[in-house]
Amino acid sequence: MAFIQTALFAETLEMSTDIHAVIPMAALRASEDGKLPVLYLLHGLGGDHTEWTRLSSVERYAEDRGIALILPRGDRSYYMDMKQGAAYYTYLSEELPAIAKSLFPISDRREDTFIAGLSMGGYGAFKLALRQPERFAAAASLSGSLDIVHRLSEPGVFRNHEEQRMFGSVAELRGSDDDLLALAGKVAASGNQPLLYQCCGTEDFLYEGNRNFLKHGEEVGLRITYEEEPGSHEWGYWDRKIQRVFDWLPVEKNR
């Protein structure tokens, strides 16, 4: 396995940023075309691009399954083109895939391209996949902040008015392509949707929002594999569930 740390200047963000990559070398040597299926893995609001490899065994799981990982830094952005700040969504949806493809031996086929994340990253993963279903075959949310309009109505979630800097007003957010409930209906109606995996612990503070998204998604016709069980917002739960994500991903066995 190769663990690669990359520092670069992102034109979209207009600043330096970091990307970590995990490349299963045995799978790469066995690949017919020299390319690997890839999982973009997003971090949570209080974390960074290092937390998945520091706090879970995700490197080992990726090696066992022959899937490359791309771990970008999203800061406290909610993976938004922020109202007052950098264009993180544009970076993740446009510049990052081009950079990753140029630097790492990953496939650019839709059927080989997946995205997942925890908490804020679960929101980001579903947003990227639902807004770009032509790029992502599957997306997974672990304890995701999926009903963002509901989340913004809760006091004390964000600090120093950062919600306004990220999202603007709730009125601006509701019904937009950054509102996952509104986006779900558009994607389901289009007939071109990725597979979705969603899980949340029943003691998690984001549990109600997850149930809201699941109910709405099923009503509009999204294909969601949903799992819940006792668990809270912590790494023991996420380390267990990311293994489930790897098993669930529709990876072609004979590429």
190-208 pLDDT per residue, tens: 988 999 999 999 999 999 9
pLDDT at 253: 59
- Listed in order, strand segments (DSSP E) in the chain are 2-10, 15-23, 38-42, 68-72, 113-118, 138-142, 195-201, 224-229
Please choose, from the candidates 12, 182, 141, the residue with its C-alpha nearest in 3D space to the C-alpha of residue 82: 12
Contact 108, 34 (CB under 8 A): no
pLDDT at 112: 98
CA distance 107 to 100: 10
The CATH fold assigned to 2-248 is Rossmann fold (3.40.50)
Give residue limits of the domains in the chain. 2-248
pLDDT at 254: 43
CA distance 102 to 100: 5
Q: What percentage of the chain carries pLDDT values higher than 70?
A: 97
If one counts every other C-beta atom within 10 angstroms of the C-beta of residue 180, the result is 26
Residues of the chain where predicted confidence (pLDDT) is lower than 70: 155-157, 159-160, 253-255
Which tokens is 50 given? 């290092």
Which tokens is 147 given? 């009903």
Cα dihedral 84, 164, 146, 48 sign = positive
CA distance 242 to 57: 9
Half-sphere exposure of 39 (CA within 13 A, CB side): 33
DSSP for residue 36 = B
Residue 118, beta-bridge partner list = 142
Which tokens is 160 given? 């120093």
